[in-house]
A and B are shown apart, each in its own frame.
Chain A
């Protein structure tokens, strides 16, 4: 009897809404994963230049943070410093980028956590947008060929840092000039 199609038509709608439970609206996958990382040239809080170009061939971890991002950024800062100390000797570059932050608040944050890796402000947000950042903290793992391999939103753990960096360190560095030209992969 076709009249029973009326109540039955409700089923797909409910099913769609139920599907909603399986997805997180705040978890937006980045289209940049697998693509070459956008080049940047910043100046650290200490005045030293830091450029992605000059880090080619190394595994680069890019961490976006802000002093106003509490508690997540405060939670992960010691992790980053620890990881940096254990990997700096193995050719890993860690760069912190403070976004939408006040200069002196950032500097206080750096000194509070005695961060020894290079940290730079992104005063007009160009680098943040180039990396499709929408919140802090966010961490990007860039392989030796200059490709973004993983984007992690939220505070990072020692373990995640270790696993990802070890994986990327184990990969050979290809000629970067070949890769930076094409997209995707």
Chain B
């Protein structure tokens, strides 16, 4: 029953999306508003149908309807309520459904917000419905979420235990909102190419959309890191896994676009470059989906494989060929000579920022596909992993932190020596002093000193700028808090951007600290024995076991003391799932601003007499999550309607 309704709804949705896409395009070409209007209704209908399908699938999960194959694969009768909801998008078919739903949601929002916009809008609608049509097609042919299972099993297989985590509610949702969000600027860019209105209209209109997409993508990446940190039990948050790379690449090009778009807004140049960046960013989101779902590259996050890879690759090819084909076609309109007053200006700082961001994206891309290239050309399997990516990206990211300090304060057009001195002398001194102070305190890693020195420099530029502006307000008669509030609200774009930068700097401190100063040890302890690490004493006090509906857990009890304060008890565990070949680590951790103590239970003797424990003292990792919060505040500030301009 559910199968039939779901299948039917998706098939109708596909047809409607294809119709809407064509109708809107034809309507725009022939100047028939009725066709465009019908496409709007199609968009609304598609959204309603996909929403219905999402609810229907959730309903199937909540009622354990194992006649739907996907439900039977992802749950069993013991899966708790909460995880039956996350299981909806826990695997391939459901994740595509969620993804499609978001595309149709964005499409509807574009209709609601921009339907008065006459020249670009019909094409935008056409492109967005085209994208939705593709995803709907995927759900009708290679990855049907409502596929029927006969005979209906009595119980299902059960959810992948790694996904039994709260992070799994938010991580995919945020990540997909980011990925799909980039379809809006992409659709506007294509519309600009098709209509030949390659001026600045599309850039101005999509600014907020881009920030929203960028923000959700950033959030998705951070939550992914958090999930990796507290679920996977290896003590880290980012492993340069191909799928993490796939999510990171559009972030890098999207960040480049956010900055270069500002040059176009202000100086009406870089038209060609901006459109290319948007095309690249959107294509990279599709590439990411392709990578995760085709199974061509082994990864922790990889879904099962099938013919779906071919669909995504074909779509990627169509997107890239069409978009860059249109770009070549409009070449003459795009290729405007730029005009700059000086190489020493904010414009060139932004250009450099773009160079480093795109170079980083290229590096990550090349590293990710290099194993394929090696196999194709040489027939040799190689791996490209964390040691490579860390080594090559560190200089790029440090350069970016430096530019992050320079860009917002250097003058547009032409920076005078005065301007440079006024804005940068102080921060440079503060940065150098900070590095020197750290050296005195005993920090010896050159990389950490450089990274923290640059971070302090950039933070100082932000503080300097903000305090200067606040003081100017206060001289004009405002009191301290109102001065700050008006400043933030009236220049929300600027200070939202600053807050985002600040968030990233805080993340950078966390990354630097955790890379440079984390320590770990592994020890096999008998009852009552203790291991010492970085001032902590971790004593093994015994094992216990529990069994619940989905799995059995063996829990180690460890008493932890650090010389002062009362000792606390930590209970890392190992979870044994019937459907999994190896146990899953249940990490226990104590988070702190300075450091986290992070315990992972290893092997143990069955009689409970001894156990192996891996203890990590991870430094400054909490800063990464705090940075994420600051970034969120900044993004909210940056997209609130500008009271002066709105």
Residues of A within 8 A of B (CB): 1, 3-4, 6-7, 9-10, 13-14, 16-21, 23, 25-26, 28-29, 68-70, 102
Q: Cβ of A6: which chain B residues have Cβ within 8 Å of it?
A: 324, 327-328
Contacts A/B (CB < 8 Å), 7 sampled: A4-B328, A14-B313, A17-B290, A18-B313, A21-B310, A21-B313, A25-B371
Instruction: Give chain B residues whose Cβ lies under 8 Å from the Cβ of A18.
Output: 313
Please give the residue numbers on chain B whose beta carbons come within 8 Å of chain A beta carbons, in ascending order.
290, 294-298, 309-310, 313, 316-317, 320-321, 324-325, 327-328, 331, 369, 371-373, 375-376, 381, 581-582, 606
Smallest CB separation, B291 vs chain A (Å): 9
* A19-B376, A21-B294 given; 19 more Cβ-contact pairs under 8 Å: A3-B331, A4-B328, A6-B327, A7-B328, A10-B321, A10-B324, A14-B317, A16-B369, A16-B373, A16-B376, A17-B290, A17-B296, A20-B296, A20-B309, A21-B296, A21-B310, A26-B298, A68-B581, A68-B582
A21-B306 Cα distance, complex, nearest whole Å? 10
Indicate if the CB atoms of A20 and B321 lie closer than 8 Å: no
Docked pose: A16 CA to B313 CA in angstroms: 11
Q: Contact check: which of B324, B375, B582 meets A23 at CB < 8 Å?
A: B375
**Which residue from chain A places its CB closest to the CB of B380 in the assembled complex?**
A29
Residues of A within 8 A of B328 (CB): 1, 3-4, 6-7
| Interchain CB contact under 8 A, B381 and A28 | yes
Instruction: Point out the residues of chain B lying under 8 angstroms from A20, CB to CB.
Output: 294, 296-297, 309, 372
CB of B299, distance to nearest CB on chain A (Å): 8
- Using known A-B contacts A19-B376, A69-B581, determine if residue A25 contacts B297 with beta carbons closer than 8 Å: yes
**Given A6-B328, A20-B296, A20-B372: A70 and B320 interface contact (C-beta under 8 Å):** no
Contacting residues, chain B, for A3 (C-beta < 8 A): 328, 331
Is A17 a contact partner of B320 (Cβ separation < 8 A)?
no
Q: For A27, give the chain B residue with the smallest CB separation.
A: B381
- Kindly state the separation between the CA atoms of A72 and B82 in the bound complex, as whole angstroms: 33
Q: How far is the CA of A14 from the CA of B294 in the complex (A)?
A: 13
Tell me the nearest residue of chain A to B321, going by C-beta.
A7
CA distance A4 to B321 in the complex (A): 10
- A14 contacts across to B, CB distance below 8 A: 313, 316-317, 320
10 closest cross-chain pairs (CB), A and B: A20-B296, A25-B298, A7-B324, A10-B320, A7-B325, A3-B328, A3-B331, A14-B317, A6-B324, A19-B376
Bound state CA distance, A14 and B324, in angstroms?
14
CB distance from B279 to the nearest CB of A (A): 10
Residues in A neighbouring B296, C-beta threshold 8 A: 17, 20-21, 23, 25
Q: Are B372 and A23 in contact (CB under 8 A)?
A: yes
A17 touches B313 (CB 8 A): yes
Interchain Cβ contacts within 8 Å, total number: 64
Q: How far is the CA of A13 from the CA of B372 in the complex (A)?
A: 11
A83 to B538 alpha-carbon distance, docked (Å): 51
Q: Using CB atoms, name the residue of chain B closest to A1.
A: B328
Beyond A3-B328, A68-B581, A68-B582, whether A17 also contacts B372 by CB under 8 A is yes
Closest to A103 in B: B606
Decide if A70 touches B581 in the complex (CB within 8 Å): yes
B309 touching A16, Cβ below 8 Å: no
The answer to whether B324 and A19 have CB atoms under 8 Å apart is: no
User: What is the CB-to-nearest-CB distance from B329 to chain A, in angstroms, rounded to a whole number?
Assistant: 9
A141 to chain B, nearest CB (A): 22
Residues of A within 8 A of B321 (CB): 7, 10
B264 to chain A, nearest CB (A): 19
- What is the chain A residue whose CB lies nearest that of B372? A20
Give chain B residues whose Cβ lies under 8 Å from the Cβ of A25: 295-298, 371
- Distance, CA A14 to CA B381, complexed state (A): 20
For the complex, what is the distance from the CA of A23 to the CA of B295, rounded to whole Å? Answer: 10
Q: How far is the CA of A135 from the CA of B489 in the complex (A)?
A: 59
Q: A33: shortest Cβ distance to chain B, in Å?
A: 14
Task: Write out the residue numbers on chain A whose beta carbons fall within 8 Å of the beta carbon of B582.
Answer: 68
Report the Cα distance A102→B309, complex, angstroms. 40
B499 CB to nearest chain A CB (Å): 37
| A residues near B372, Cβ cutoff 8 Å | 16-17, 19-20, 23
Q: A10 touching B581 by the CB < 8 A rule?
A: no
Task: Chain A residues near B316: list those with CB within 8 A.
Answer: 14, 17
Distance in angstroms between the alpha carbons of A23 and B317 in the assembled complex: 20
Question: Which residues does chain A contribute within 8 Å of B369, judged by CB atoms?
Answer: 16-17
Q: How far is the CA of A68 from the CA of B316 in the complex (A)?
A: 41
Output the nearest chain B residue to A26 by Cβ-Cβ distance: B298
In the bound complex, CA of A13 to CA of B313 (Å): 11
Minimal beta-carbon separation of A3 from chain B (angstroms): 5
A7–B320 touching, CB < 8 Å:
yes
Most buried by A among B290, B371, B372, B606: B372
Closest to A23 in B: B375
Contacting pair B381 A29 (CB below 8 A): yes
Q: A69 contacts which chain B residues (CB < 8 A)?
A: 581
Q: How far is the CB of A181 from chain B (nearest CB, A)?
A: 26
**Is A10 touching B317 in the complex (CB atoms < 8 A)?**
yes
Alpha-carbon distance between A68 and B371 when the two chains are bound, in angstroms: 31
